[in-house]
Structure 1
Amino acid sequence: MEASFSTSVYVGNLHYDIDSRYLAELFEYAGIVEDSKVICNRNTGQSRGFGFVTMSSVAEAERAAEMFHRYEVYGRRLTVHKAAPRSSRVETPRRRSWHRFGIYVGNLPWQVDDSWLEELFSEHGDVFDARIVYERRGGTWRSRGFGFVTMAREEETYDAVYALNKQILEGRTLLVEVAKERPRRGFY
C-alpha cells in the first residue's frame, strides 16, 4: 500500500465482525476505495477494532471522514478521521515509562477492552498504550473496571483528561486523571 497518507482515513470503534472487504464496500459511498485494511491481532487473527481506508483522492478522504464519523454500524458509532501523515507521527518506542504521560481511567464499563480504551483516547492524540487491568476470578479473567492510557505528548494527556473526565460511557461516569507514580516496592 504505497498510496499517500493524505488520502487515508483512520476508522475506529469497528465491530469485531467487520472485515476489510466490508469496510471497502461501505466507504465506496464516499468515492473510489483504493485499499482497506482492518488491523488484526497477529497472534489470534481477531480484529483489533480499527482499520484504515485509502481513497483515490484527498477530497474523497475528506468526504469519507465527514460522512462516516459517528456513523452507526452494528450498533457501534464509528470514529473516522484523516490519518496523520507518517512525517507528523512521533517516532518513539511503544514501551515507555507508564507514568510519563500516563492517565488513570476508572469506573469503566465491564465490556470495555484495550482496543475500545485506545479508540476512546485516540480522538485526543496519539495513544502509545491502552491497557485494562484484569483479575482472575473462578478460572476466568475479568476487568477490574479501570485501566491506564499512555499518550504521546504531555498536552495530549491533559486534553484527554479534560475532555473525558466525568463523561458518560455505557451509563457509567468515567473518572479520568493524570496517573500518579506509585512508590517502588522492594528492599532498601
Structure 2
Amino acid sequence: SCVAQTSDWEQEGPSAVLDEEGSDAQEPSWDAQDSGFADVGAEGAGEGFPEPPEEAKLYVGNLPYDVDSEKLAQIFQAAGVVEMAEVIYFRDSGRSRGFGFVTMSTVEEAEKAVEMFNNHQLDGRNLTVNIAAPRGSRPERPPQEFQPSFRIYVGNLPWDVDDARLEQLFSEHGKVLNARVVSDRETGRSRGFGFVTMASEAEMNDAISALDGQTMGGRALRVSVAEERPRRGF
C-alpha cells in the first residue's frame, strides 16, 4: 500500500531540508509510516497494486501554512487521481514548513498538475510545483566531492527571521533544498545571517538577483554565492 512518512531527512532536525548534497537516502521516503499525509489512492491500492512511477511524484512549495495534507490532495484532484499527498511539518512545533509532496497516478497527470498549479495563486501565494527529482530522469551523479552546491549566503537579516521565513522568502524563486539561519550557540538568538541551498544554478542566480539589496524589516539584505567551506583532514 502507498504510505508515507515525514521523510528520512525530516528526522535529522528542524533545519534539515532535502539536502541534495547528501546521498539518495536523504531524499523523501515514500514507504514508511506517518500520520501526516492523505492516502487517497484508487480502490484496490493494496498488494499487487502497481507503484506510481517516480516521475509522478511532485514537489509543492510556497504553500499557505494552513494547507494540510487533506486539502493539498483536494486541490490536486483537479489534475487527476491523487495517490498520496503529504505536507511537511516541523517536528518540534507541528507547524507546516510551507511545502509538501503529491503523488499522482500517472506521469501524464503529474505533468498536467505542473501545468495547472505551478505559479498558481493560492491564498495570495504563488505555488512552486515541479517533478520531485525522479531518479530515472537525471544523469548518474558524479562523485560526491565534485558535486556542485548551489549555496547562497544571506546577510543583514532581521533578527526575527527564522528558518521557515527564510525558506519561504527564497521558495518564491525556485526549489529550496535547505534554509538555515545561523544562531548564537549560547543564547539561541539569530546572528543576522544564514544560508540557503537552491536546487539549480539558475534558481540560485535568480534568487540572488531578485533579493540582493531588497529591504526586509527595514534592513537591506546582502545576498551572494556562499564561499565553499574549507575541507578538513588531508
Same fold (TM over 0.5): yes
Of 169, 179, 184 in structure 1, the residue corresponding to residue 226 of structure 2 is 179
Partner of 1:149: 196
Structure 1, unaligned stretches of length 5 or more? 184-188
- Displacement after TM superposition at 1:121 (Å): 5.8
Partner of 1:162: 205
Matches of 1:35 and 1:142, distance apart in 2: 37
Name the count of aligned residue pairs: 173
**What are the Cα deviations for residues 143-174 of structure 1, in whole angstroms up to 9, with x where unaligned?**
6654212457xxx45x4442222315986575
Matches of 1:47 and 1:92, distance apart in 2: 34
Structure 2, unaligned stretches of length 5 or more? 3-50
The residue type paired with residue 166 of structure 1 is: S
- Contact 1:36/1:51, CA 8 A, preserved across alignment: yes
Report the 3-state secondary structure (helix = DSSP H, G, I; strand = E; otherwise coil) of the residue aligned with 1:36: strand
Report the 3-state secondary structure (helix = DSSP H, G, I; strand = E; otherwise coil) of the residue aligned with 1:22: helix
Identity percentage of aligned residues: 49
Matches of 1:110 and 1:22, distance apart in 2: 33
Partner of 1:79: 128
- Displacement after TM superposition at 1:126 (Å): 6.9
> Structure 1 residues 92, 142: closer, same or farther in 2, change over 3 A?
farther
Report the 3-state secondary structure (helix = DSSP H, G, I; strand = E; otherwise coil) of the residue aligned with 2:180: strand
> Structure 1 residues 71, 6: closer, same or farther in 2, change over 3 A?
same
- Displacement after TM superposition at 1:180 (Å): 3.7
**What are the Cα deviations for residues 74-107 of structure 1, in whole angstroms up to 9, with x where unaligned?**
22111001111246596999xx9xxx76421235
- Displacement after TM superposition at 1:131 (Å): 0.8
More strand by share: 1
Matches of 1:9 and 1:171, distance apart in 2: 32
Matches of 1:30 and 1:111, distance apart in 2: 38
Q: TM-score, normalised by structure 2?
A: 0.57
**What are the Cα deviations for residues 16-37 of structure 1, in whole angstroms up to 9, with x where unaligned?**
1110000010111111111111
The residue type paired with residue 93 of structure 2 is: T
> Structure 1 residues 101, 53: closer, same or farther in 2, change over 3 A?
closer
RMSD of the alignment, in Å? Answer: 3.9
Matches of 1:31 and 1:162, distance apart in 2: 34
The residue type paired with residue 41 of structure 1 is: F
Matches of 1:80 and 1:67, distance apart in 2: 9
Matches of 1:7 and 1:161, distance apart in 2: 25
Matches of 1:17 and 1:4, distance apart in 2: 29
> Structure 1 residues 54, 180: closer, same or farther in 2, change over 3 A?
closer
**What are the Cα deviations for residues 100-139 of structure 1, in whole angstroms up to 9, with x where unaligned?**
7642123557775424544626965672x3112457xxx9
Q: TM-score, normalised by structure 1?
A: 0.68
- Where does 1:1-188 land on structure 2 (aligned, <5 Å)? 1=2, 2-86=51-135, 88=138, 102-106=151-155, 113-118=162-167, 120=170, 127=177, 129-133=178-182, 146-150=193-197, 156=200, 159-168=202-211, 175-180=222-227
> Structure 1 residues 85, 115: closer, same or farther in 2, change over 3 A?
farther
